[in-house]
Amino acid sequence: MHFSIPETETRAGDGGAAYVAYNIHVNGVLHCRVRYSQLLGLHEQLRKEYGTNVVPAFPPKKIFTLTPAEVEQRREQLEKYMQAVRQDPTLGGSETFNSFLRKAQQETQQIPTEEVVLEVLLSNGQKVKVTILTSDQTEDVLEAVASKLDLPDDLVGYFSLFLVRETKDGAFSFVRKLQEFELPYVSVTSLHNPEFRIILRKSYWDSSYDDDVMEHHVGLNLLYAQTVSDIEHGWILVNKEQHRQLKSLQEKVSKKEFIRLAQTLKYYGYLKFDPCVTDFPEKGCHVVVSAGNNELNFQVRLPSEQIKEGSFKVTRMRCWRVTSSVPMSNGPSGSSPGKSEVKLELAFEYLMSKDRLQWVTITSPQAIMLSICLQSMVDELMVKKSGGSIRKMFRRRANGALRRSDSQQAVKSPPLLDSPDASREPMAKLSSKLTSVSLRGISHSSSANDVGANDFHGNYAFEGIGDEDL
């Protein structure tokens, strides 16, 4: 996640005295507003639990009132501190850090703890209404939805909740995967925009895990509904003959066979992103990026209007980072990601040939979601490499009590597929041996060397390769 503290506010305390508040943004949207003393308290708690050698240095206290220049300096130091803590696997995943952010989010948005009904969508547009507390974290809400659908506990970890924005044509633009440091009800309602919804979708990339999900009828129905939706929205490419076969299987209600056939189709299991801009193979190219099969797939429209296609394997990405290239907006806390002035960019360093690494940049409001996809692909690859299972990746909290729903809700079967879109343009292959593209500055600085190490996501699945593998 992209943590930033883009601005400070001078606010009046309970006793009337003014204090400086730091606005913590996640993905360019206000998450919470905290005081220096609160962050210091978090730091001291982390240091108590994990030791001084693990926790990064914290900006020191000042005896006298800070000058405007010192306030700005402290803001920058606190921003780097929060980024460093979040990106540390131990600290960033700790309950101390995440509960601090959840509590601060609820206090900032001034939403009291009470029982509410939250509407969660399935891929086929079906609405699942669950009764939760406003203070329930992401895992609680996921469990409540699973309970409502009667999804077995051992399959819950195969699914995640995503914040999406509904488009005019009924499709969904993915904003981000809901994280452990946020409260889903607060996250979606604080945007004050009915276009933003929460959707349940499978969270793994390797289609071999489909077999586990299809063992249970609820898992099968969820996977089937998602596959039909992806085909209808053009995320999975289908020719006329394949479409005829799929429709025949639908009519026979042969859901497993339908999924088996879909698994053989191009872009099955991929997440498709909104059109954006890339500097590969040259600056200013319009591109549609899809994430899946341990790669980012590019469908690039060159300045010559020619459409070319190519893929970047996650195992050849040495590292990546997300940055904002313009100052954050000082808009109201309810401002939505769609209206924010923030321009987010994802850049990854890619092994083009045996001895040549090259930076590739994607400018997109969905840069955070792209980064989340890359990280989850790496996590899944590492679990598989170690002989583990993603069943074990879902850990129920020791003190978490699952509230079983009083009434279950069945997953509805989607309608039959419409005729395939004949207007899709044929793609030419994009060679990975194209001319080297120089790295352009994507931080506030023009030099890549000015970006701190904490802005980077190292890739533990990165593999050295020879020219013959390219």
DSSP state of 235: S
The CATH number of whichever domain residue 227 belongs to comes to 1.20.80.60
- Count of structural domains within the chain: 4
Q: Per DSSP, what are the bridge partners of residue 33?
A: 23
**Domain shared by 274 and 394, yes or no:** yes
Within this chain, do residues 212 and 199 fall inside the same structural domain, yes or no? no
* Same-domain check for residues 368 and 282: yes
Average pLDDT over residues 196-205: 96
Radius of gyration of the chain from its Cα atoms, rounded to whole angstroms: 23
- CA-CA distance, 245 to 396, in Å (whole number)? 41
Q: What separation in angstroms does the CA of 79 have from each of 8, 22, 46, 311, 455? A: 11, 9, 17, 34, 11
The vertex-49 CA angle with 47 and 50, nearest 5°, equals 65
Residue 296 and residue 392 in one domain:
yes
For residues 393 and 274, membership in a common domain is answered with: yes
- Per residue in 350-368, pLDDT (tens digit) is 999 988 999 999 999 999 8
pLDDT tops 50 at residue 433: no
pLDDT at 392: 55
Query: What residues contact residue 249 under an 8 Å CB cut-off, 6+ apart?
Result: 257, 258, 261
Domain CATH number, residue 152? 3.10.20.90
Residue 276: per-residue pLDDT: 97
Length of the chain: 470
Measured CA to CA in angstroms, residue 28 lies from 103, 342, 375, 465 at distances of 19, 6, 19, 36
257 & 285 share domain = no
Q: What is the pLDDT of residue 377?
A: 95
Domain range for 214: 206-267
Token digits for 310?
A: 């190519």
304 and 318 share one domain: yes
How does pLDDT run across 295-329, given as a tens digit for each residue?
Answer: 999 999 988 889 999 999 999 999 999 887 544 44
With a CB cutoff of 8 Å and minimum separation 6, the contacts of 43 are 55, 58, 81
Q: Tell me, yes or no, whether 360 and 391 share the same domain.
A: yes
Shared domain for 174 and 261, answered yes or no, is no
Within this chain, do residues 190 and 231 fall inside the same structural domain, yes or no? no
Tens of pLDDT, residue by residue over 434-453, are: 222 222 222 233 333 333 33
Per-residue pLDDT tens digits for 375-426: 999 999 998 888 877 765 554 443 444 444 556 787 787 777 776 555 544 4
Strand 172-177 and strand 159-166: pairing?
Answer: antiparallel
Instruction: Give the whole-angstrom CA distance, residue 367 versus residue 300.
Output: 17
Report yes or no on 450 lying in a domain: no
pLDDT (tens digit per residue) in 89-104: 899 999 999 999 999 9
Q: CA 108, CA 11: separation in Å to the nearest integer?
A: 13
The residues, ordered by sequence, that sit 6+ positions from 377 with a Cβ below 8 Å of its Cβ are 205, 291, 294, 314, 461
Domain end among 88, 109, 130: 109
Please give the DSSP secondary-structure letter assigned to residue 469. Answer: G
Tell me which of 137 and 9 has the higher pLDDT: 137
C-beta pairs of 431-434 under 8 Å, 24+ apart in sequence? 431/310, 432/310, 432/352, 432/470, 433/352, 433/353, 433/470, 434/280, 434/281
Among 267, 292, 318, the domain boundary falls at 267
Residues 283 and 375 in one domain: yes
Percent of the chain whose pLDDT exceeds 90: 60
Decide if 113 contacts 106 (C-beta within 8 A): yes
Asked which of 87, 109, 131 is the last residue of a domain, the reply is 109
Asked whether the beta carbons of 324 and 342 are under 8 A apart, the reply is yes
In a domain, 409, yes or no: no
Using a cut of 0.85, tell me whether the model's pTM lies above it.
Answer: no
Same-domain check for residues 18 and 92: yes
